């Protein structure tokens, strides 16, 4: 069976508006035992851009017992802080850091993006987190090659884009780089197109389905399980991006998930039970038993 890197961008659980390390670790260990390889801290699903540096470091410390399986997203609008986080990541000997490019501000020069990644990766090998829709910058294969030429230590890229041509170009034109898909809908494609792995927010609640996609990627059941996951991801979007994932984790895994941080508001009781009802209808449609 083909093994790709399975990376779970963990939700960040809050209790009374503080990061709840104990819930975070229990959830992280549960998905790890469920067969996922890497735990990705402070990604989009983990509300990374809303976490302060001390909060991200608190999470890093909470997972200090399993360093080989941890990736810390340390990209920010303050390169000095990002570098400090990468230094800490190195101390903990984790697998590597990931980094969003600078975001929000328009007009960042291409050479500044190159410098940002080059400087950061002097501390720790970097997985570029490419999410053009939200950051405003598309880190294409030619930019990655420029970063590498400038001495950057880039070990991978996480492509949160539906532009498969860009993803395949990176695979084709950048030597020795791991290319990971980001959208929940592209797990099966990662297998079928010979990519290196996938990062899927849906794996927080759907890691068992992800394993079924892995086991069946070369036959029709692979499509069926991917479609099941797509329908669940669509429900997550309908009930409230990211916030709904906390409820879906509890519904599907039975493990406590804590709360999101506002302005990602917790689902009301009514919404949660309507979501659960719709999830059950999807399970039934695909003949999937929890």
Q: Which of 51, 92, 54 has its CA nearest to residue 71?
A: 92
Q: How far is the CB of 199 from ligand FW2 (least distance, A)?
A: 4
12 scored as a contact of ligand FW2 (CB under 6 A): no
Residue 138 or 146: the one with the smaller Cβ distance to ligand FW2 is 138
Cis peptide before 21 (omega within 30 of 0): no
Q: How far is the CB of 203 from ligand FW2 (least distance, A)?
A: 9
Give the residue, chosen from 72, 85, 147, 199, that forms a contact with ligand FW2 under the rule CB under 6 A: 199
Stretch that binds ligand FW2, among 14-22, 37-45, 110-118, 219-227 (CB under 6 A): 37-45
Q: Which of 87, 158, 178, 208 is catalytic?
A: 158
44 scored as a contact of ligand FW2 (CB under 6 A): yes
Stretch that binds ligand FW2, among 17-25, 38-46, 110-118, 268-276 (CB under 6 A): 38-46
In this structure, are strands 18-19 and 14-15 parallel, antiparallel, or unpaired?
Answer: antiparallel
Stretch that binds ligand FW2, among 25-33, 42-50, 62-70, 76-84 (CB under 6 A): 42-50
158 is an active site residue? yes
Query: Could you tell me which residues come within 8 angstroms of residue 163 by beta carbon, excluding any fewer than 6 positions away?
Result: none
Q: Which of 22, 20, 77 has its CA nearest to residue 53?
A: 77
158 scored as a contact of ligand FW2 (CB under 6 A): yes
Residue 158 or 272: the one with the smaller Cβ distance to ligand FW2 is 158
Residue 19 or 199: the one with the smaller Cβ distance to ligand FW2 is 199
Q: Residue 233 and residue 32: Cα distance in Å, rounded?
A: 20
Cα 220–Cα 221–Cα 227 angle in degrees, nearest 5: 100
Q: How far is the CB of 44 from ligand FW2 (least distance, A)?
A: 3
Residue 45 or 243: the one with the smaller Cβ distance to ligand FW2 is 45
201 scored as a contact of ligand FW2 (CB under 6 A): yes
Q: How far is the CB of 214 from ligand FW2 (least distance, A)?
A: 17
182 scored as a contact of ligand FW2 (CB under 6 A): yes
- Cite the active site residues: 158
Q: Can you give the binding site for ligand FW2, defined by CB under 6 A?
A: 9, 43-45, 158, 160, 182, 199, 201
């Amino acid at each position: 069976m083909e093994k790709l890197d399975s990376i779970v961008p963990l939700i960040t659980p809050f209790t009374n508006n503080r990061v709840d390390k104990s819930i975070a670790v229990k959830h992280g260990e549960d998905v790890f035992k469920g067969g996922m390889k890497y735990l990705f801290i402070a990604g989009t699903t983990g509300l990374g851009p809303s976490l302060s540096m001390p909060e991200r470091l608190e999470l890093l410390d909470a997972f200090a017992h399993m360093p080989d399986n941890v990736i810390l997203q340390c990209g920010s609008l303050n390169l000095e802080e990002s570098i400090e986080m990468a230094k800490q990541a190195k101390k903990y000997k984790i697998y590597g850091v990931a980094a969003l490019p600078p975001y929000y501000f328009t007009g960042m020069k291409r050479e500044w993006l190159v410098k940002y990644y080059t400087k950061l990766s002097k501390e720790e090998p970097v997985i570029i987190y490419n999410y053009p829709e939200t950051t405003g910058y598309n880190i294409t294969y030619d930019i990655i090659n420029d970063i590498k030429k400038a001495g950057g230590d880039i070990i991978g890229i996480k492509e949160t884009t539906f532009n498969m041509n860009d993803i395949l170009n990176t695979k084709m034109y950048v030597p020795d780089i791991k290319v990971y898909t980001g959208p929940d809908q592209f797990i099966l494609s990662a297998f079928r197109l010979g990519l290196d792995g996938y990062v899927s927010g849906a794996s927080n609640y759907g890691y068992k389905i992800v394993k079924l996609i892995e086991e069946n990627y070369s036959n029709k059941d692979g499509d069926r399980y991917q479609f099941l996951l797509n329908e669940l991801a669509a429900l997550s979007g309908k009930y409230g991006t990211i916030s709904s994932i906390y409820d879906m984790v509890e519904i599907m895994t039975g493990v406590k998930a804590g709360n999101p941080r506002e302005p990602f508001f917790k689902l009301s009781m009514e919404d949660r039970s309507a979501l659960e009802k719709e999830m059950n209808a999807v399970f039934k449609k695909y003949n999937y038993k929890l």
